[in-house]
């Protein structure tokens, strides 16, 4: 089953600049620029990639603002063409090259606006990935936050209930959570997922090199994240056929197909592009790879702040403190992570040779708009 993603969103007038002409670097120009990119990556300490719908067009999923994009076609009163369903979409060369870059320890964090779930289904470690606009294959418990990566698209959009209930069991002899599961796909003007956004911001600040692939960078806050890297003294490299909102901030601007760029890049770096053998979900990178310690530290701080705030709130409401519960939640989370891996092992494949895992995901990038909430979590579009 496929879902018409665009039709599932509410109507929204300002979808940004659509259908701008594409331009292409000459063969020689492209080669020189990719060599420069390879050198920047070799020299980088912390590479973060930002992906948009442009990396999934070769998987058969239309982008949004390209010449045949969803919103471009909508402006013309036409329907976009899907060459595949979300379930049948195969990762593109770029998706798999990103997995190769991560495994080679060049790529430290991946931030995607795509909702098609292909990054997850390609086996990219979920703990090194922020999906800022949701995932068509993921539903989340509104009560305990557990996420379920399904093999089929959820079919519900806009953070609405999916009709299913959480089966998480928090302890022996206890009943399952039974919280309502909701879609993770954002509708226009809905706030971005806090955890994913926080991690994306932290990684962007920490990065010394931000590489954007197949995104016009028009959607806020996702499109502005590479600027965090630049403000901290890092470099931004933009690969896109159409002009982007932040071209003037780019250290290197490449006008070429992302698959072509990534293919040349991997060769220059001497890296193989992993083969894809079907949907694979990898919950986390190998245990010895401790992701984003800086983030972990900051999170602790934020958690502390929140805890205080919660306590204050409870005082006012006359409720008891819930410190023990918080501790219990952490324990539950750990347990959940273990369970998830076991469950996944049953029905899917390994995410790395040493780290077997299973599951599936979605992909497709969203665009969002809404100018009122600038500065807040809500995605806004500005040109």
Catalytic residues: 133
Neighbours of 69 (CB within 10 A): 24
Closest CB to Zn ion among 17 and 144? 144
Residue with tokens 């995410």: 351
Distance in Å, CB of 308 to Zn ion, minimum: 25
For the sheet with 161-165, list strands across it.
147-149, 138-141, 180-183, 161-165
| Tokens coding 209 | 């090199």
Stretch that binds Zn ion, among 127-135, 136-144, 236-244, 289-297 (CB under 5 A): 136-144
Distance in Å, CB of 168 to Zn ion, minimum: 4
- Chosen residue from 47, 166, 295, 381 binding Zn ion by CB under 5 A: 166
**269 lines the binding site for Zn ion (CB under 5 A):** no
- Chosen residue from 61, 107, 177, 258 binding Zn ion by CB under 5 A: 177
Distance in Å, CB of 143 to Zn ion, minimum: 5
Give the interface size with Zn ion as a residue count (CB under 5 A). Answer: 8
Distance set, CA 318 to CA 18, 159, 309, 310, 322 (Å): 53, 31, 14, 12, 12
Burial category of 2 from C-beta neighbours within 10 Å (exposed 0-12, middle 13-18, buried 19 and up): middle
Distance in Å, CB of 140 to Zn ion, minimum: 9
**168 lines the binding site for Zn ion (CB under 5 A):** yes
Stretch that binds Zn ion, among 57-65, 159-167, 223-231, 285-293 (CB under 5 A): 159-167
Closest CB to Zn ion among 65 and 146? 146
Q: Supply the DSSP string of 220-238, one letter for each residue.
A: ETGGGHHHHHHHTT-EEEE
Rounded to whole angstroms, the Cα distance separating 46 from 305 reads: 28
Closest CB to Zn ion among 40 and 144? 144
Residues 6+ apart with CB under 8 A from 195: none
Neighbours of 377 (CB within 10 A): 15
Stretch that binds Zn ion, among 13-21, 169-177, 239-247, 256-264 (CB under 5 A): 169-177
Residues 6+ apart with CB under 8 A from 46: 108, 109, 203, 206, 207, 208, 209
Please, are residues 70 and 12 in contact by the beta-carbon 8 Å criterion?
Answer: no
Stretch that binds Zn ion, among 149-157, 162-170, 254-262, 349-357 (CB under 5 A): 162-170
**169 lines the binding site for Zn ion (CB under 5 A):** no
- Chosen residue from 118, 141, 241, 281 binding Zn ion by CB under 5 A: 141
Rounded to whole angstroms, the Cα distance separating 360 from 279 reads: 5
Q: Can you tell me whether residue 324 is helix, strand or coil?
A: helix
- Chosen residue from 144, 159, 227, 252 binding Zn ion by CB under 5 A: 144
Closest CB to Zn ion among 166 and 348? 166
Distance in Å, CB of 148 to Zn ion, minimum: 10
**143 lines the binding site for Zn ion (CB under 5 A):** yes
**179 lines the binding site for Zn ion (CB under 5 A):** yes
Neighbours of 337 (CB within 10 A): 12
**182 lines the binding site for Zn ion (CB under 5 A):** no
Closest CB to Zn ion among 38 and 144? 144
User: Which residues of the shown chain bind Zn ion in the complex (CB under 5 A)?
Assistant: 141, 143-144, 146, 166, 168, 177, 179
């Amino acid at each position: 089953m496929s879902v018409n993603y665009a039709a599932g969103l509410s109507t929204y007038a300002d979808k940004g600049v659509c259908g701008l002409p594409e331009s292409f670097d000459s063969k020689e120009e492209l080669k020189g620029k990719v060599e420069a990119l390879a050198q920047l990556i070799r020299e980088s300490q912390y590479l973060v990639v930002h992906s948009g719908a442009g990396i999934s067009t070769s998987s058969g999923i239309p982008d949004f603002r390209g010449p045949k994009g969803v919103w471009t076609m909508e402006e013309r009163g036409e329907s976009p063409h899907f060459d595949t369903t979300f379930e049948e979409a195969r990762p593109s060369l770029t998706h798999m090259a990103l997995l190769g870059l991560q495994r080679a320890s060049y790529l430290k964090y991946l931030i995607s606006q795509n909702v098609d779930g292909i990054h997850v289904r390609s086996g990219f470690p979920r703990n090194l990935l922020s999906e800022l606009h949701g995932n068509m294959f993921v539903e989340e418990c509104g009560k305990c936050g557990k996420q379920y990566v399904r093999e089929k698209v959820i079919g519900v959009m806009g953070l609405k209930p999916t009709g299913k209930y959480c089966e998480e069991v928090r302890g022996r002899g206890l009943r399952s959570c039974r919280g309502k599961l909701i879609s993770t796909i954002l509708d226009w003007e809905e706030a971005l997922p806090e955890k994913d956004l926080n991690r994306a911001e932290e990684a962007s600040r920490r990065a010394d090199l931000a590489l954007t692939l197949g995104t016009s960078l028009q959607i806020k806050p996702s499109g502005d994240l590479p600027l965090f890297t630049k403000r901290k003294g890092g470099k931004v490299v933009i690969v896109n056929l159409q002009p982007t909102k932040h071209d003037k901030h780019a250290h290197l601007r490449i006008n070429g197909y992302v698959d072509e760029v990534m293919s040349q890049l991997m060769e220059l770096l001497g890296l193989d592009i992993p083969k894809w053998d079907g949907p694979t979900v990898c919950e986390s990178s190998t245990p010895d790879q401790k992701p984003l310690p800086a983030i972990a530290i900051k999170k602790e701080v934020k958690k502390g702040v929140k805890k205080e705030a919660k306590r204050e709130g409870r005082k006012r409401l006359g409720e008891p403190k819930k410190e023990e519960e918080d501790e219990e939640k952490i324990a539950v989370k750990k347990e959940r992570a273990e369970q998830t891996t076991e469950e996944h092992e049953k029905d899917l494949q390994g995410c790395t040779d040493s780290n077997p895992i299973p599951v599936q995901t979605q992909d497709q990038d969203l665009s969002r708009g809404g100018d009122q909430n600038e500065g807040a979590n809500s995605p806004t579009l500005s040109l």
